[in-house]
Each structure stands twice: as structure tokens, then as C-alpha cells.
């Protein structure tokens, strides 16, 4: 008799429910760690499911989905909107991790979604290289800030300044080594190489940043729309309102892919300074009363959706199409 498994994936844990003959098991919880993933895979191999269903939400599903496929298990990664509609049809109003896991298992049983195919090895390798480049670029920025602070103080021993400079030099060597490895990888994949060149057409995006951005974007489903991409990066705006007493300012969620957000910050800042179209858009937002950081986040969000569009349409990035003052209401 067929067994269907549903996985509800969160930041810190994964909940598993299996269904057989319309009967659901008790929910099991596993930590969102490599050890937790291994324990989950062992349990799933015992259950021998016909299909394992999870949502393509947040930043946590991808590594687990790849691990499951590599373990020889059948996986379906479904659109969150499709799952939400399914829950509505089932008149399911309660929401817990266990209920969602059960519903995902039932979705697999009733809807029979197709199996998920992970990105090829080039895409996965680029993602790993890009993330390490992103981390090292962040470390270098922190080191440069420390060096600036040390130089601003007369009492700083010269040894400390030399030590910080040596650390920066070492970080730059590591970044360059990984950048060269990523470029060699791109040379073996014409499609990725072409997309990389499209990203470089954007003001403020250099080689390291383009690699970091491409590494994250190339593994995402091309069916994602601009709003979904913004949510994936945690650049979507969240409203905080409760009755008439609480009405806090809207903030970005920061609930998504931190690698995308960090890679977009400096390009957006550079574009505001040196791209007239982007600068006009930014200044119009500030003139409307937006704080500078809010206007910069709006630029980051626009940049991300524009970069995603150029990857989907296979065309170079063009800020004149993207940054129009007529689009301020959507910023």
C-alpha cells in the first residue's frame, strides 16, 4: 500500500508526517542540521514512501531536497500558492507544523505532483563557491572598517595596523582564488556564462558580486515571479498592525536568503551614487518622506527583480527600463 510523506520545513526543524490508506502518523520532528537531515533520511528509507512532498519556501528546503534526491528518495517540491489553495479547498483553518505536514502528505496522495529534479552539478558547485565568496567579501568589509578605526586613533600600535592589513591581503587572495575557480566553472557552462555577463551590465556589480548573485539565482525555479523573488531574499515589506492601538512602521521581513541581501547592498549603494536613473528614483523616494535606508532597500528590491527578469529573458540588465518615477507606488 502506498505511503506518502509530508515535510513542513522551518528555520530550526523539519516535521514529518506519513499517510497510508488515509491514516496519518504522528508528527516526528528533526533538527534543521546535517545530523537531523541524516536521521530524517534514515526514517524515510524505512517508510519507503511513494512520494515525499515539501514546499519551495524560504531558504531551508533546497539543501534537504538535494540530500533526499541523492539518497534515492522520490521528492516533489510544490509551489506554496498551490498548497495554500489545496488547504482552502480542504477547509483547513487551523495551522500547525504537524497539520501542514499531514496536508502536504495528502497533497501528494491526491494531486500526484511530478518529481523534483535538482540543479546540475555546475549550478550546485557555483552556489557553494558563490556563498563562500559572499562570506569572504563580508569579512573583508569588516576588516577594512576595523583598519579605518585603527588608523583614526593616534595611540594604535603600528603592529596592529600591519596585522589588519595582512589579514585584508589574505582575504583578497582567498576571494581571488575562489573567483578564478568560479570563472573556470562558468567557462564549462555557456548558459551560466551568458547569464553572468548579463549581471555585469548592471552598475555597481563587479565580478565577485555577479558570481554571488548568480550562484543564488541560478538554482531557483524560473516560474518564480518578482514578488516571490523579493520574499525569497527577505526584501518584502511586512506591515505590523493590530486593531487601533498598534500600528508600527512597515519593515522588510529579513526572513529570506541572507546571501542575496548582502550581495545586493553595495551594488544598490553604488548605483544610487553613479547611475543617474537610479539616483533620480532614490531621491524621489526620499523627497516623498522615505528614510534613506528605506529608499535604498527599495533600490535593492528593484535591482533584484530586474536582475531576475534579465536572467529569465536572457537579456542584459537595463536600469532605464526598471527605475522610473512612475513606479514609485510599487517601491
pTM (2 d.p.)? 0.70
| Whether pLDDT at 104 is above 80 | yes
Instruction: Compute the distance between CA of residue 305 and CA of residue 20 in angstroms, rounded to an integer.
Output: 42
The predicted pLDDT at position 106 comes to 95
| CA 21/CA 59 separation, integer angstroms | 32
Take residue 40 and report the three cell numbers written for it: 530524517
Largest CA distance in the chain: 77
pLDDT value at residue 144? 96
What does the pLDDT look like over 105-130, one tens digit per residue? 999 999 999 999 888 888 989 988 99
Q: What is the pLDDT of residue 60?
A: 76
pLDDT at 328 over 80: no
Q: Which residues of 311-330 are buried (b: 16+ CB within 10 A; e: fewer)?
A: bbeeeebebeebbeeeeeee
Q: What is the pLDDT of residues 195-205, one digit of tens each?
A: 999 999 988 89
Residue 170 has pLDDT above 90, yes or no: yes
Which pLDDT value is given to residue 282?
93
Q: Hey, how many other C-beta atoms are within 10 angstroms of the C-beta on 180?
A: 11
Q: Where in the chain are the domains?
A: 3-111, 121-217, 226-241+251-330
CA 52 to CA 6: how far, in whole Å? 6
Q: Residues 138-159: pLDDT tens digits?
A: 999 999 999 999 999 999 999 9
Q: What percent of the chain has pLDDT over 90?
A: 59
Q: Confidence band (pLDDT; 50, 70, 90) for 241?
A: very low
Fold of 3-111: Nucleotidyltransferase; domain 5 (3.30.420)
On average, the pLDDT of the chain sits at 88
pLDDT 10s digits, 16-75: 999 998 899 999 999 988 899 999 999 999 999 999 999 987 667 888 998 999 999 999
For residue 248, pLDDT over 80 is answered with no
Amino acid at each position: 500500500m502506498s505511503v506518502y510523506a509530508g515535510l513542513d520545513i522551518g528555520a530550526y526543524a523539519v516535521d514529518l508526517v506519513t499517510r497510508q490508506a488515509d491514516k496519518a502518523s504522528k508528527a516526528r520532528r528533526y533538527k534543521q542540521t546535517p545530523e537531523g537531515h541524516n536521521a530524517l533520511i534514515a526514517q524515510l528509507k524505512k517508510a519507503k514512501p511513494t512520494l515525499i512532498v515539501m514546499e519551495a519556501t524560504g531558504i531551508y528546503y533546497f539543501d534537504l531536497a538535494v540530500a533526499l534526491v541523492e539518497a534515492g528518495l522520490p521528492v516533489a517540491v510544490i509551489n506554496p500558492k498551490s498548497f495554500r489553495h489545496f488547504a482552502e479547498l480542504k477547509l483547513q483553518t487551523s495551522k500547525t507544523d504537524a497539520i501542514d505536514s499531514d496536508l502536504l502528505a495528502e497533497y501528494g496522495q491526491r494531486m500526484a505532483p511530478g518529481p523534483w529534479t535538482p540543479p546540475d552539478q555546475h549550478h550546485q558547485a557555483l552556489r557553494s563557491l558563490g556563498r563562500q565568496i559572499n562570506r569572504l567579501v563580508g569579512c573583508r568589509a569588516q576588516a577594512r572598517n576595523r583598519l579605518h578605526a585603527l588608523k583614526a586613533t593616534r595611540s594604535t600600535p603600528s603592529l596592529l595596523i600591519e596585522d589588519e592589513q595582512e589579514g585584508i591581503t589574505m582575504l583578497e587572495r582567498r576571494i581571488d582564488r575562489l573567483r578564478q575557480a568560479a570563472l573556470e566553472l562558468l567557462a564549462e557552462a555557456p548558459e551560466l556564462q551568458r547569464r553572468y555577463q548579463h549581471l555585469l551590465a548592471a552598475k555597481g556589480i563587479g565580478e565577485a558580486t555577479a558570481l554571488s548573485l548568480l550562484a543564488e539565482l541560478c538554482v531557483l525555479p524560473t516560474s518564480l515571479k518578482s514578488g516571490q523573488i523579493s520574499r525569497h531574499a527577505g526584501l518584502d515589506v511586512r506591515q505590523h498592525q493590530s486593531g487601533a492601538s498598534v500600528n508600527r512602521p512597515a519593515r522588510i521581513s529579513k526572513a529570506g536568503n541572507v546571501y542575496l541581501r548582502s550581495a545586493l547592498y553595495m551594488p544598490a549603494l553604488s548605483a544610487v551614487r553613479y547611475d543617474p536613473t537610479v539616483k533620480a528614483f532614490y531621491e524621489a523616494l526620499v523627497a516623498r518622506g522615505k528614510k534613506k535606508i528605506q529608499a535604498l532597500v527599495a533600490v535593492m528590491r528593484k535591482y533584484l527583480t530586474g536582475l531576475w527578469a534579465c536572467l529569465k529573458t536572457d537579456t542584459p540588465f537595463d536600469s532605464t527600463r526598471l527605475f522610473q518615477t512612475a513606479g514609485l507606488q510599487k517601491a
